[in-house]
Amino acid sequence: MSAVMPQDAQAVQAVQSFGKVAVLMGGTSAERPVSLMSGNGVLAALRSQGVDAHAFDPAERELGELRREGFARAFIALHGRHGEDGTVQGALELLGIPYTGSGVMASAIAIDKVMTKRVWLAEGLPTPNWVCLEAGHQQPALLRAVPDDLGLPLIVKPPREGSSIGVTKVLGYSQMQDAVKLAARYDPDVLCEEFIEGIELTCAVLGEGASARALPVVRIDAPEGNYDYEHKYFSDDTGYRCPSGLAPEEEAEVKRLTLAAYRALGCRGWGRADLMQRTKGANADGRFFLLEMNTSPGMTSHSLVPMSARAAGLSYEALCLELLRAAALDSPAPTAAAT
C-alpha cells in the first residue's frame, strides 16, 4: 500500500495536473480595460500558487496559437463581446481546450439581457418589465411611447454590453432620444427597462447543476444610487456590505432566486447575478428582481465575486484555483469505443 501523500505534495501534484494555462484577457470589447485588470489579477494569483500560467490577449494573438503552444487549459478573464458571449467558448471547444465558466449556449444567452429575460420569465422568475427597441424601430414616435408603458424614471441600456457601459437613467420624455442614441452606439438593439427603486444586490454562484452553491450576498451602496462604470471600478465612494444586512429569510430568497436563474440559463463554473429589491417608491413591497447574469464576472480589486468569496472563507488565490479546477468542455472528445 502506498503511503499517504503529504498535503503540500498533494497540492503541488494538483497544480501540476493543470498543465500550461492561458489566462485570456484584454480582447476587443468595450470592457477591455477591465478585462486586463481582471486577467492580471488572476495571472498573479495562479502563479503565486505554482500554476504554469501565461497571459494571452486574443486581440493580439490568434486563438489557434493556444494549441500550437501546448496550452492545456484556459482561464477566461475576458468580459463582454468576443469573450463572454459564447464565441471564444466555441473556439476553445473546437480546439479541445477546457475553459473556465459557462459553455457556448449559456454564455450566448446570458450576454443578451433580452434573451435572458425571456428565459427567466418562462421559468417564472421575476425581472423588471421591459421594451426592446430593435434597430430600425427607434423613431421619435416610438420612443415617446416607452415611458407610457414602463413609467418614469426608466433605464435605457445596450442589451449585450456590461459594466454599465452605455446605460442611462431616463427621468423625462425629453431624455429618451439621447439615451437611445447612446445605447445604440454599443448595440443596434436597445433595451428599455422598468426602474426598480431600492437596494442593489449581487450574488455569486460557484459550481454546476444541483451542486452549485450561492456565496454570501453583497449589498451595493453607490453614491445617489449611481453604480456606473466609474463607481464600479475606480471610485472609493461606493460602499459594499458583506454580510449584506438583509434579514436571514431575505438573504435566503436572494440565493434561491440566483441559483434558479443560474440553472435556468444552463450556467456552469461560476457566475454572478445582479438584483434589485424594491424598497422605495409608490410600489415598495420588498420584492426582488433579477437584472442580469454575468458569466465571466470581474476579478479586479473592486470586484464583487472575490469579496463574496472572502466572506465565505475563500481567498482570491483559492477562488482562482477552484475555478481553474472546474475548467471543462461542453463536448469533450469521445473516448474510443471498446472492441
Catalytic residue among 102, 163, 296, 303: 163
pLDDT per position as a tens digit, 15-31: 889 999 999 999 999 89
Catalytic residue among 80, 292, 296, 316: 292
Homologous superfamily in CATH for domain 130-194: ATP-grasp fold, A domain (3.30.1490.20)
Instruction: Please confirm, yes or no, whether 298 is among the known catalytic residues.
Output: yes
Catalytic residue among 84, 194, 253, 274: 274
Catalytic residue among 29, 31, 296, 308: 31
Enumerate the domain spans of the chain. 7-100, 110-127+196-324, 130-194
Q: Give the confidence band of 138 by pLDDT, cuts at 50, 70, 90.
A: very high
pLDDT for residue 230 is more than 80: no
- What's the grid cell of residue 170? 431616463
Q: CA 294, CA 84: separation in Å to the nearest integer? A: 8
Instruction: Please confirm, yes or no, whether 211 is among the known catalytic residues.
Output: no
Q: CA 29, CA 35: separation in Å to the nearest integer? A: 9
- Which helix (H) or strand (E) element contains residue 331? none
Architecture of the domain whose range is 110-127+196-324: 2-Layer Sandwich (3.30)
* Distance in Å from the first CA to the final CA of the chain: 32
Instruction: Please confirm, yes or no, whether 85 is among the known catalytic residues.
Output: no
Catalytic residue among 26, 39, 83, 298: 298
Mean pLDDT to the nearest integer, 50-74: 98
| Contacts of 143 by beta carbon, 8 Å cutoff, 6+ apart | 133, 176, 177, 180
Q: CA 221, CA 241: separation in Å to the nearest integer? A: 8
Tell me, what's the pLDDT at 14? 79
Cis peptide before 223 (omega within 30 of 0): no
Q: What is the DSSP letter of 108?
A: H
> Mean pLDDT in the chain?
92
Catalytic residue among 272, 296, 303, 316: 272
Catalytic residue among 99, 227, 233, 316: 233
Instruction: Please confirm, yes or no, whether 96 is among the known catalytic residues.
Output: no
Catalytic residue among 102, 294, 296, 308: 294
Instruction: Please confirm, yes or no, whether 186 is among the known catalytic residues.
Output: no
Q: Which CATH class is domain 7-100?
A: alpha beta
Q: Where are the beta strands (DSSP E) in the chain?
A: 20-24, 52-56, 73-76, 130-133, 154-157, 168-170, 190-194, 198-206, 213-214, 218-221, 239-241, 270-278, 288-294
13-27, 222-236, 254-268, 316-330: range with lowest mean pLDDT: 222-236
pLDDT per position as a tens digit, 30-41: 899 999 999 999
- What's the grid cell of residue 187? 448595440
Tell me, what's the pLDDT at 184? 95
- Closest C-alpha among 193, 196, 212 to residue 204: 212
Instruction: Please confirm, yes or no, whether 294 is among the known catalytic residues.
Output: yes
Q: Which residues pair with 313 in a beta bridge?
A: none
- What's the grid cell of residue 226? 449611481
Instruction: Please confirm, yes or no, whether 308 is among the known catalytic residues.
Output: no
Long-range own/partner contacts, residues 171-174 (CB < 8 A, 24 or more apart)? 172/147, 173/144, 173/147
Instruction: Please confirm, yes or no, whether 187 is among the known catalytic residues.
Output: no
Q: CA 25, CA 43: separation in Å to the nearest integer? A: 10
